[in-house]
Amino acid sequence: MQSLYPFKLNPVFKEKIWGGQKIKQVLNMNFGLLPNCGEAWLVSGVEGSPTLISNGYLAGNELNELVEVFMGDMVGEKVYERFGDAFPILVKVIDSNDWLSIQVHPDDELAQKRGIGYGKTEMWYVMQADENAELICGFNRQMDQETYVGFLRDKKLKEIMNFEKVVEGDVFFIPSGRIHALGPGTLIAEIQQTSDTTYRIYDWDRIDHAGMMRELHTEEALDAIDFSMQKNYKTPYHIHENKTEKLVASEFFTTNIVELTQSLQKDYEELDSFVLLMCIEGSFELKWEDLSLTANAGETILLPNSIEKVSLIPKTSAKLLEVFIA
Please name which of 307, 228, 249, 282 lies closest in space to residue 123, comparing C-alpha atoms.
Answer: 249
Residues 153 and 15 in one domain: yes
Classify residue 295: in a domain, yes or no: yes
For residues 170 and 74, is the Cβ–Cβ distance under 8 A? no
Question: From CA 99, how far away is CA 184, in angstroms rounded?
Answer: 5
Residues 148 and 201 in one domain: yes
* The predicted structure's pLDDT at residue 209: 77
Classify residue 2: in a domain, yes or no: no
Which residues are part of the catalytic machinery? 200
In single-letter form, the type of residue at position 243 comes to K
Q: Could you tell me the sign of the dihedral formed by the alpha carbons of 28, 32, 36, 37, in that order? A: negative
Residues 201 and 312 in one domain: no
Residues 83 and 148 in one domain: yes
Residues 210 and 84 in one domain: yes
CATH number of the domain that 314 lies in? 2.60.120.10
Neighbours of 223 (CB within 10 A): 13
Report the number of distinct structural domains present in the chain.
Answer: 2
Classify residue 229: in a domain, yes or no: no
Residues 78 and 29 in one domain: yes
* The predicted structure's pLDDT at residue 210: 80
**Ranges of the chain with pLDDT below 50:** none
Question: From CA 242, how far away is CA 221, in angstroms rounded?
Answer: 42
For residues 134 and 78, is the Cβ–Cβ distance under 8 A? no
* The predicted structure's pLDDT at residue 64: 96
* The predicted structure's pLDDT at residue 42: 98
For residues 293 and 285, is the Cβ–Cβ distance under 8 A? yes
Classify residue 248: in a domain, yes or no: yes
Residues 279 and 195 in one domain: no
Q: Which of 168, 192, 222 is the last residue of a domain?
A: 222
Residues 86 and 184 in one domain: yes
Residues 78 and 42 in one domain: yes
Question: From CA 291, how far away is CA 267, in angstroms rounded?
Answer: 16
Residues 64 and 212 in one domain: yes
Residues 95 and 41 in one domain: yes
Question: From CA 288, how far away is CA 272, in angstroms rounded?
Answer: 18
Domain that holds residue 253: 244-324
Classify residue 133: in a domain, yes or no: yes
Q: Residue 98, exposed/middle/buried by CB under 10 A (0-12, 13-18, 19+)?
A: middle
* The predicted structure's pLDDT at residue 211: 81
Classify residue 139: in a domain, yes or no: yes
pTM of this prediction? 0.96
CA angle 90, 92, 93 (to 5 degrees): 170
Classify residue 38: in a domain, yes or no: yes
Residues 162 and 260 in one domain: no
Classify residue 312: in a domain, yes or no: yes
